[in-house]
Amino acid sequence: MTAPTPTYSTTIPDSEPSGFMLPDLFSDCHYPLRLNPHCYPVSRASEQWLLNETSLAEPKITKFMGLHAGELTAACYPDADAFHLRVCSDFMNWSFSIDDWLDEFDVDGTFGIRDCCISAFRDPINFQTDKLAGKMCKSYFSRFMQTAGPGCTERFIRTMDLFFIAAAKQADDRAKGHTLDLESYITVRRDTVGCRPCFALIEYVAQIDLPDEVVSHPVIKAMEEATNDVITLSNDLLSYNVEQSSGVGMHNMIAVLMDEQGLDLQCAVDYIGQLCKDNIQRFEDNRATLPSWGEEIDRQVAIYIDGLQNWIVGPLHWSFDSNRYFGKDGHAVKQNRIVKLLPKRPLQ
């Protein structure tokens, strides 16, 4: 995804918009949505794990229970057995929590969490820490290490490190009041979205460990990037309303397009919708040019590509089932695509 240059002009409206219409995100996403048969017992067990670890209190408990991260995990890893799905569910619940926690951290705090978590990933048994984030990493990653291959493990840790580095960059921009240009935003956002480690989990749940020459191949990298961009772009569309009402600086492509390109809200939304469509096409175009590495590796690659496909369709449906972006109105918004802007909360 390169920084878009809109080819049409727009005028700034005289009054603030009251809402916008989402693009039809499903018309070009024809991939089947499958739910892991272990979804509900594993999801409930994972939720209880996080509640026990974090000792959340209301209203945070209600907010967390409305997240339904286990259901997202079950849609993204529909063929995982219960053990591997549980590890992924614990990671996903932790990941959403750490994403929220990092919004409150400065650069030094973010790097402190990074050092702790990466150390826990490197040696989940022997590394000792009092930090809650690190303790939770030790819990799920010690189970991950029981069956994960060395390549898959290294890819997970490396991409988690990229996530923390990008989160620190975001914290620095937030503290300094910096507004990113579009190219810089795209670069940072590809890692703050936090999906790249989830791609390593595709290998983990399938019990495969792709050779370096496969994962470094330009076609595989292009398909990963297209998947990541669809997730990122659609997430910016679906999370915009909650973000714009928060009263703090937004890390969202809609805001960047409006600021840098002078687009109005609906034009920015429509443009991102087109980018989602373009990236699904890019995924398919690259699928058609996949080389062959021999029968066994090709079988593993097919599993991995199917996993990327699940990561395109799963989050899209989950975003309307979860309470994270639309509260109780997700199903209505999914049907009519109309988003009414929430009032902006005053700064604390």
Query: In this structure, are residues 191 and 166 in contact, taking their beta carbons and an 8 Å threshold?
Result: yes
Measure the CA dihedral 152/153/158/160, to 10°: 100
For the domain 38-51+69-331, what is the CATH superfamily, name and number?
Farnesyl Diphosphate Synthase (1.10.600.10)
Give φ, ψ of 126 to 5 degrees: -95, -20
Q: What is the pTM of this model?
A: 0.93
The number of beta carbons lying within 10 Å of the beta carbon of residue 345 is: 10
- pLDDT values of the chain reduced to their tens digit, one per residue, 348 residues: 655 555 443 444 446 789 999 999 999 899 999 999 999 999 999 999 999 999 899 999 999 999 999 999 999 999 999 999 999 999 999 999 999 899 889 999 999 999 999 999 999 999 999 999 999 999 999 999 999 999 999 999 999 999 999 999 999 988 888 888 899 999 999 999 999 999 999 999 999 999 999 999 999 999 999 999 999 999 999 999 999 998 665 689 999 999 999 999 999 999 999 999 999 999 999 999 999 999 999 999 999 999 999 999 999 999 999 999 999 999 999 999 999 999 987 655
